[in-house]
């Protein structure tokens, strides 16, 4: 069985400019105004939901991509990696403080080599940072991880000043692995509710809580 977005006509081949400025997205914002990534510019990447996602994602059926018919989704593969690298080089030449990439507005880390690709970029470009959320799982306690989840966990640890990918399931910070989490609103652990959703801040760029170096609490998102 093949899994795809509901909006097949919204899928595009990778192209220059596929990393979109956060100013296009009210929730994200554009200029980071606080925290360790202050003054960096925020950009985002959108892939195709489902075709890049683990079927274990608890939002598989009610993905918010179902309500985004006009989102521009990029096909994954070698051409995607080439286009991303091209964009990042251009952006880092433009913005002296560097850039933050939100991975992924839609879609997911779709393979171990794709995770390794981001690791290579982080190693090559110290002013590059990435943050986001994943439905893949690391091996934490009794939770059995998957290969991609373990690769993401390794990435977080190796590039702790540049990379914060939170794992999307109801769990609190794991001291052994260093894994941080993003939960549903039903989770009653050591959490904080997304400040952007509750109107406490204008955007991710003016908040910085999710990627804060010492913010190990689980971020709780309200149902969408």
In a domain, 171, yes or no: yes
Residue 15 half-sphere exposure, CB side, CA atoms within 13 Å? 8
* pTM, rounded to two decimals: 0.95
Q: Does a structural domain hold residue 2?
A: no
Neighbours of 206 (CB within 10 A): 17
Quick: pLDDT tens for 44-55.
999 999 999 998
In a domain? residue 1: no
Confidence class for position 214, pLDDT limits 50, 70, 90? very high
pLDDT at 123 over 50: yes
Whole-number percent of the chain with pLDDT over 90: 85
User: Is residue 3 assigned to a domain?
Assistant: no
Residue 139 domain-assigned (yes or no): yes
Residue-wise pLDDT for 140-181, tens only, equals 877 788 999 999 999 999 999 999 999 998 999 999 899 999
Residue 150 lies in a domain: yes
Its domain, for residue 29, covers 8-221
Higher-pLDDT residue of 106, 143 = 106
> CA of 138: how far to CAs of 35, 105, 144, in Å?
26, 21, 7
pLDDT at 2 > cutoff 80 = no
pLDDT tens, residue by residue, 58-79: 888 888 888 899 999 999 999 9
Domain-located, residue 196: yes
Q: How confident is the model at residue 223 (pLDDT cuts 50, 70, 90)?
A: confident
Into how many domains does the chain fold? 1
pLDDT of residue 1: 44
Sheet holding 218-221, edge to edge: 20-21, 41-45, 99-103, 128-134, 163-168, 181-184, 218-221, 191-193
């Amino acid at each position: 069985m093949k899994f795809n977005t509901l909006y097949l006509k919204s899928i595009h081949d990778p192209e220059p400019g596929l990393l979109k400025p956060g100013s296009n997205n009210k929730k994200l914002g554009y200029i980071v105004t606080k925290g360790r990534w202050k003054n960096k510019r925020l950009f985002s990447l959108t892939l195709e939901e489902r075709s890049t996602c683990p079927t274990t994602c608890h939002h598989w059926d009610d993905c918010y991509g179902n309500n985004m018919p006009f989102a521009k989704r990029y096909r994954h593969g070698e051409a995607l990696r080439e286009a991303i690298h091209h964009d990042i080089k251009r952006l880092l030449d433009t913005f002296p403080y560097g850039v933050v990439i939100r991975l992924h507005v839609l879609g997911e880390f779709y393979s171990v080599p794709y995770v390794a690709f981001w690791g290579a970029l982080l190693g090559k470009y110290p002013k590059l940072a990435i943050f986001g959320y994943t439905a893949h799982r690391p091996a934490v306690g009794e939770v059995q991880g998957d290969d991609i989840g373990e690769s993401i966990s390794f990435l977080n640890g190796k590039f702790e000043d540049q990379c914060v990918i939170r794992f999307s399931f109801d769990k609190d910070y794991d001291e052994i692995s260093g894994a941080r989490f993003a939960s549903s609103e039903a989770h009653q652990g050591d959490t904080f509710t997304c400040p952007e959703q509750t109107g406490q801040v204008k955007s991710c760029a003016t908040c910085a809580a999710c990627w804060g170096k010492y913010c190990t609490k689980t971020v709780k998102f309200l149902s969408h």
